[in-house]
Chains A and B, each alone.
Chain A
Amino acid sequence: MTGLEHYNYWIVIALMMSGLYALIARGNLIRKLIGLNIFQASVFLLYISVGFVRDGAAPILAPGVDSYSNPLPHVLILTAIVVGVATTALGLALAVRIHGAYGTIDDDQLDRQRD
């Protein structure tokens, strides 16, 4: 068993880190949201990897197949994707309102403006 065998988990970690980095380091609110999305996507991949069964077929009952992938993580992650979409939509809507109220969507400039 080498480290490469679990390459999907390495991808998950790489995505997670780049997402978190964008989230923290970027001042632009839209970029922050993009970072958030990358971060969430990494978790979706994590779940899907967990559900994967080597040589398993899609979880649809069919004759001659006795090994299926686990469908539950997929279902869960569908829910999580919906939640993610809602979050992004709300975040974008807020960004639009912030732009309207402040004339900028840069985090540092927002702090500089007093009320």
Chain B
Amino acid sequence: MRKILPLLLVLATPALAGGPPVDDDWPCQQRKTGAISRAAIWAGPEVFSGRWDDDSQVAALARKLASRRTPLEEAGPLIDAFAKEAGADKDKRLTLLFDGTLDLINGERAKVMAAITRYARGQKALAAKVREDADKAADAQESQGYGQDITAPDALEKAHPELKWDKRIFDDRAQALTYVCESPVLLEKRAFALARAIQEKL
């Protein structure tokens, strides 16, 4: 029984068992992980009552910080200036600023990850189309009795230029994927760096 119980747990709740959840549509080497946890990057105060977007100054700065258009080097001075003018509620407002930044980055990260999954599905479909078209073209060639080596990719592509294009798109996208897959990690790094910079001002 002692052996069976953990096994059942593994079957019932793969996430709790510690193994990475399996997702066939996730094309990246990097593990697919859920939203960035507040606790993973923050040792400051717990959540305060009130929403970060109720404070217009906090909301504006959170948007600016979360945006990848703002270089990280500019974040420090911006947070510094905010902290100096934050008044008596400084810790609360800094915590809300962190919560806002994290919310926005998590939102962006979720979008990026959904896009990666869509991208991977598109690639799969394209791969299937290339395979199918190549088979069809090869069959057609064979039935016409060209008598040439239909396994040679050159011969096929000469007769069917659209195949070449599809393959090229597929290869380009596959290469781009390496970079695209870095995006969620880059956002995690950004969230962490911002959390640290905000925390220093508490």
- Does B bind A? no
